[in-house]
Structure 1
């Protein structure tokens, strides 16, 4: 019996040692800013320094004399998520996209904490830097929550509001379906274990849930999400966002929005349910709902032709209609 216990004890120690070795081999350090900029910066990339030590990356593209669209990405995404729209709408509109702190090529100082108004302040800082007085603001997912919150605080700056599979609706979170990586990140222990771990497998699975069509989840796309998450300080901010309390949307809160609003939502969205899109459209007076069958969380990338055309038609009809 003692011999068996010694054997089992030895096997247990061996397993622990092997797990420790695996843990070490899966650790991934930060990537230098120069490396990331060389790979993900393009000719349209610009930077502005904002309060709090932020060095914010943005792109100002398209028709410099056209109506202005300001685009805000979702959690863990970056400005590249909007490039399909830039390609299709840039001939008509001036399109400004930006990377929020903890995302893309935007740099934050060590220990930076995202506060309740941080993302709104970044949007405001960029548009003020560019001297944009009036514009249409669009946001996807977490960026959609930034957009409707901005509309509540700065309605005088907006000609239109576009919520693309927007987050932030008030409802119980327990038991909802969604990518495994978000469930892991919602747990403090999971966040600690995942912090410096190679998350490529989980990231790919999460993207496949978001895009639905696995052929769209290319190695280059996964590389972009994984690489940019490894920017200095980004993982601290990203994991902090998962632990941060958010003030959710309610019908009462959104009823004050009088800006022309377009709600675009995929019916098969696994991250933000279609019912949330319906709720936003119902709560905001006069809002238009564009529902997309067989589409998930990112219609601007999944169905760029259709979604860009819908946006263009809506802006010309509801925001800047022809003058008699």
Structure 2
């Protein structure tokens, strides 16, 4: 009787998973279709290590490179770009595994990979020295790039940056997503409402979130291959201990502005103070009511402070 009951439970679980897959299955969207929707007139492509990288190059003057975070794309910088391009050359890109660029050939995604990728990207564009700004994962890439290639950076801006990830419980969600049981579900079961939940979490005030923004997150996530990156994201900081992070931050000598939303649910505002304490001479600006993506949620307020910082 016990074996029969156990078999019944197993069958019920498998049936439930089958129904879940059937109901929430979302296929990949061909990149050709997404190019029609999200490649603008200023979109360009450059090949790096066999990967066709999508970027935009707008304005003129001293170059500023903008790096987005996880599940995002270069569009997160639309508000900033409109202002910065008035007096700067603004370069933003879809990092490997995101947006229109899609996945690279690297089996494990981590900060080391992205830092070396950015060095190649700057080389491909003939950029010797830039100001770099990054949000979340992009912020982690930015500070590590500044520590590793100080001769290539003028100033940096860190927005709700990744770094002290061993203290961030949310990283465990991505590790769980890469488990053998959940990996297929994450790969194919990403209904719009789940993306909407994520998007609302990264805004301090979800009322500021527009439907078109959710649609963009949702559709670009389903670009062929992009969902595979989610299952390896738990390795992002696998090679960096807290001691490694502190040593790298202490070596940064360029002017640094740290921006944070005090309602960040993904990387709490306490991390802003950790960065401020560990980067010599850094400036810290905390925005009341803003969440994890202040450049997207309150672009006018944040970009005004960034322009003032850049013009100092």
Tell me if TM exceeds 0.5: yes
Q: Aligned in 2, Cα 1:205/1:124: closer, same or farther, shift over 3 Å?
A: same
TM-score (norm 2): 0.88
Unaligned runs of 5+ residues in structure 1 are 318-324
Give the TM-score of the pair, scaled to structure 1: 0.85
Partner of 2:21: 23
Aligned residue in 2 for 1:303: 298
Paired residues in the alignment total 308
1:238 match: 230
Instruction: Identify the residue that residue 104 of structure 1 maps to in structure 2.
Output: 99
Runs of 4+ in structure 1 off by over 6 angstroms are: 9-15
Quote the RMSD (CA, aligned, Å). 2.8
Greater Cα shift, 110-119 or 162-171: 110-119
The separation in 2 between residues aligned to 1:91 and 1:285, in whole angstroms, is: 30
1:228 paired with 2:220, answer yes
Q: CA deviation at 1:24?
A: 1.8
Structure 2 unmatched runs, 5+: none
Deviation digits for residues 297-316 of structure 1, max 9, x if unmatched? 11111111110010011111
Q: Is 1:91 matched up with 2:77?
A: no
Is residue 263 of structure 2 the alignment partner of residue 268 of structure 1?
yes
User: What is the SS of the residue equivalent to 1:189?
Assistant: coil
Query: Which moves more between the two structures, 218-227 or 258-267?
Result: 218-227
CA separation of 1:17/1:169 partners in 2, compared to 1, >3 Å: closer, same or farther? closer
The verdict on how the C-alpha distance between 1:300 and 1:16 changes in structure 2, with shifts beyond 3 A counting, is: same
**Shift, 1:87, TM fit:** 0.9
Of the two, which has the highest radius of gyration?
Answer: 1
Shift of 1:72: 0.5
Map of 1:284 onto structure 2: 279
Q: Residues 53-202 of structure 1: matches in 2 within 5 Å?
A: 53-62=50-59, 64=60, 66-108=61-103, 112-114=107-109, 117-169=112-164, 171-173=166-168, 176=169, 182=174, 185=177, 188-202=180-194
What is the Cα deviation at residue 114 of structure 1?
3.3
> Deviation of residue 11 (structure 1)?
11
Distance in 2 separating the partners of 1:142 and 1:80: 15
1:200-215 mapped onto 2 (5 Å cutoff): 200-215=192-207
CA distance, structure 1, for counterparts of residue 12 and residue 246 of structure 2: 57
